[in-house]
Chains A and B, each alone.
Chain A
Amino acid sequence: MDSRFAFLASFSYLDSAVKAIERLRKEGLREITAYMPYPEHEIEDALGYGQSPVRVWALVGGLCGAAGGLAFTSFTSVDWPLVTGGKPILSIPAYIIIVFEMMVLFGALSTVIGLFINSRLPQIKPLVIYNPEFSAGKYGVYIEVSEAKKEQAKQILIAEDPDQLDEHQLGDGHG
């Protein structure tokens, strides 16, 4: 079995990190994880991100909440038909407020669930491949490669002049 290797490079400059990512991807080395101190769109673009599925979670959660709110208010009114204030049993305009609040509540909660699933949070794996400077101001580029591509990846990273370059050997055949 092929041994797998990983490199973790940290960069002080944004353009260096972006360039390293672009070059690695151009060479077909795609198992990249970038670390950044704030959401940097340039890095996301370099990694070729599309739309986040979180938006579907927001939409579906919101619609479910709204439907649930309407169903619940209507059901409870019909369940015990008691006239109050001379209003109809099904006072839909009054229920719109509950429908709206439930839409927001479930939309928000489902967005959070979608976020957690998609971003794989909470992350309980120990922080091994990490550099505390990533939360301060440095950009990190982590790449996993096979032995055959190891030197190539290393050269690309070194060409961008990283502040630090760590090499890790991963287990055999580990993906």
Chain B
Amino acid sequence: MENDAVNVSRGSLAHPDIKTMAEVNVDVLKPLSKPGKGWWMLLGLCVLGIALLFWSWGIQMVQGIGVTGLTSPVGWGVYITTFVFWVGIAHSGTLISAVLFLFRAPWRQSIYRVAEAMTVFAVMTAGLFPLIHVGRVWHAYWLIPYPNSRFLWPNFRSPLVWDVFAVTTYFTVSAVFFYLGTIPDLAAARDAARGFRKKFYSVICLGWRGTDREWHHLSKAYIFLAALATPLVLSVHSVVSWDFAVGIVPGWHATIFAPYFVAGAIFSGVAMVITLSVLVRKAFGLEAYLTIKHYDAMAKLCLVTSMIVLYAYLSEFFMAWYSGEEVERAAFWQRLFGGYWWATWIMLVCNGFVPIMLWFKRVRHSIAALFTISIFVNIGMWFERYVIIVTSLHHEYEPFAWGMYRPSTVEMGIMVGSFGWFGFWFLLFTRLLPPVAIAELKEVLPRPMKPVADSSFVGTGSPPGGVSNG
């Protein structure tokens, strides 16, 4: 468009390669076509993962929780580790979509749809693990407070009950937030589609037509949801951390746990957003939308949270030593040099030391390097939870109650299978919903203004707000 220069004030420089608004629809809706061979192969792989998950879970249902390695003293193992891992992954989605929305961070627009989808699917994955971990899953409804024949109610003083409320609320609110933001884009998909697809999008976009009334209320509702979701992000992982911190287990009973977990969650979540968005960008040719600037911003977020996490690790070791508390000291000595030393060192290297490379601009601007680092972080953050949970439990107060834990095949099968379950939903997402927020992206594009030459009102460079009353 010839009048691009006029509208530089809109902050359109983030997407120099996008010329017109209509082009956004074409580019973003392109993936919603017939999937190729690679997609089907990945989907098949994920279905195998789901099969592994439910096969392993089935074995546990039939034979009982004894098929796991869980026993005294380590009663929480891979299941809870993986639960915390997925809840953590879920965090950056709402951080990017809600918190950065409130702060008006200009780089969130193109990345947040992927992040939000990831959030919803990660909570769906995380939600499986308490059900798996309770053993008799057919009694899982006991977690929900309902009037029962024995007049028994949940113990609301227990962090585990807080967790049920926090995670359920988090899932509901992030799913609603995700859906509301998608409605206008589903309408765009409807307008571009034909046949059955058109019917499908017509129904799920709720008959959206982009009128002033719809937009007016949607944009307000969106702000309020963002405002409600922002403290929710912080609360959910704080509550998860209290599952541990409220117990008097050495290694858990620390006041820094809530901020430490929240930072870790954002860290792992941003890393996962990098991992997934690099793949989506590559597969669907969205280079003009997910630019180096976006990755640079995410890398910086990763770097900051990595430093917070490393600080938390070091302060934990320091406090254990400084407290002079023998049991605490022993627990942390065990962490570094005991039976699980390898897990601790994986955690320290992947989360604390590998991200130091993000200080360098060259690394932040290399997609391949970022992708590699994000994989390291994903691995490191799983091990962080493993270290916190397992090493703390295996070496508590009484020497006769010390013991090692070894995950069984069933547990590992469920853990590995959960990635298939997550990937399955994510793959469906990439083909069914627009992977970039079409409408919100247009908000940061230059407004199409009448070319100045034949415009009836004068003034080059007039800001968009400067429309005179005709």
* A interface with B by C-beta (< 8 Å): 12-16, 18-19, 22-23, 26, 33-40, 42-44, 47, 49, 52, 54-55, 58, 62, 72-73, 76-77, 79-80, 82, 84-85, 87, 91, 94-95, 97-98, 100-102, 104-105, 107-109, 111-112, 114-115, 118-125, 127, 130, 132-137
Main secondary structure of the interface of B (DSSP, over half): helix
A107-B449 contact given A35-B209, A44-B215, A79-B153, CB 8 Å threshold: no
Give the shortest distance, in Å, between B254 (CB) and chain A (any CB).
Answer: 19
Interface string of B64-84 (1 = CB under 8 A from A): 000000000000000000000
28 A-B pairs in the complex with CB atoms less than 8 angstroms apart: A14-B464, A15-B455, A36-B215, A37-B210, A38-B184, A39-B216, A39-B443, A40-B447, A42-B464, A44-B215, A52-B220, A52-B221, A58-B221, A72-B145, A73-B156, A76-B156, A77-B153, A97-B162, A98-B156, A101-B169, A105-B173, A108-B177, A108-B229, A115-B220, A119-B216, A121-B207, A123-B209, A134-B191
Interface string of B199-231 (1 = CB under 8 A from A): 000100011111111111111110011011101
Our pick among B183, B211, B231, B450 for the contact of A13 (Cβ within 8 Å) is B450
Do A37 and B450 touch (CB < 8 A)? Answer: no
Give the shortest distance, in Å, between B195 (CB) and chain A (any CB).
Answer: 15
Q: Which residues of A contact B177 (CB under 8 A)?
A: 108
A76-B153 contact given A42-B465, A44-B212, A49-B216, CB 8 Å threshold: yes
A98 to B439, CA, bound (A): 35
Residue of B172, B207, B211, B455 with most partner-chain A CB within 10 A: B211
The 6 residue pairs across chains A and B that have the minimum distance between CB atoms: A137-B21, A123-B207, A76-B153, A132-B191, A122-B206, A52-B220
Do A97 and B235 touch (CB < 8 A)? Answer: yes
Q: Which residues of A contact B24 (CB under 8 A)?
A: 137
Our pick among A104, A107, A132 for the contact of B192 (Cβ within 8 Å) is A132
The interface size bin for chain B is 35 or more
Give the shortest distance, in Å, between A85 (CB) and chain B (any CB).
Answer: 6
A26 to B209, CA, bound (A): 26
Do A33 and B467 touch (CB < 8 A)? Answer: no
Our pick among B173, B191, B211 for the contact of A108 (Cβ within 8 Å) is B173
Our pick among A22, A55, A109 for the contact of B470 (Cβ within 8 Å) is A22
Q: Which residues of A contact B176 (CB under 8 A)?
A: 108-109, 112
A58 to B224, CA, bound (A): 7
Is the C-beta of B104 less than 8 angstroms from some C-beta in chain A? no
Our pick among B161, B183, B212 for the contact of A49 (Cβ within 8 Å) is B212
Residue of B202, B231, B448 with most partner-chain A CB within 10 A: B448
A49 to B215, CA, bound (A): 11
Do A119 and B162 touch (CB < 8 A)? Answer: no
A111-B216 contact given A14-B464, A42-B465, A134-B209, CB 8 Å threshold: no
A72 to B153, CA, bound (A): 10
A84 to B154, CA, bound (A): 11
Within 8 A of A (CB), among B423-452: 438-440, 442-443, 447-450
Give the shortest distance, in Å, between A69 (CB) and chain B (any CB).
Answer: 8
A-B contact count (CB 8 A): 214
Q: Which residues of B contact A123 (CB under 8 A)?
A: 206-209
Is the C-beta of B139 less than 8 angstroms from some C-beta in chain A? no
Is the C-beta of B25 less than 8 angstroms from some C-beta in chain A? yes
A122-B187 contact given A38-B440, A42-B467, CB 8 Å threshold: no
A127 to B203, CA, bound (A): 12
Is the C-beta of B166 less than 8 angstroms from some C-beta in chain A? yes
Q: Which residues of A contact B227 (CB under 8 A)?
A: 58
Closest residue on chain A to residue B224 by CB atoms: A58
Q: Which residues of B contact A112 (CB under 8 A)?
A: 176, 180, 221, 225
Do A54 and B220 touch (CB < 8 A)? Answer: yes
A149 to B208, CA, bound (A): 29
A39 to B166, CA, bound (A): 32
Closest residue on chain A to residue B202 by CB atoms: A127
Interface string of B171-198 (1 = CB under 8 A from A): 0110011001001100110111000000
Q: Which residues of B contact A111 (CB under 8 A)?
A: 221, 224-225, 228
Do B173 and A38 touch (CB < 8 A)? Answer: no
Q: Which residues of A contact B450 (CB under 8 A)?
A: 13, 15-16
Give the shortest distance, in Å, between A39 (CB) and chain B (any CB).
Answer: 4
Q: Which residues of B contact A127 (CB under 8 A)?
A: 202, 207, 209
Q: Which residues of B contact A122 (CB under 8 A)?
A: 206-207
Do B228 and A135 touch (CB < 8 A)? Answer: no
Closest residue on chain B to residue A105 by CB atoms: B169
Give the shortest distance, in Å, between B398 (CB) and chain A (any CB).
Answer: 21
Closest residue on chain A to residue B455 by CB atoms: A15
Do B172 and A14 touch (CB < 8 A)? Answer: no
A115 to B180, CA, bound (A): 10
Q: Which residues of B contact A72 (CB under 8 A)?
A: 145
Do B443 and A91 touch (CB < 8 A)? Answer: no
A104 to B88, CA, bound (A): 19
A95 to B239, CA, bound (A): 12
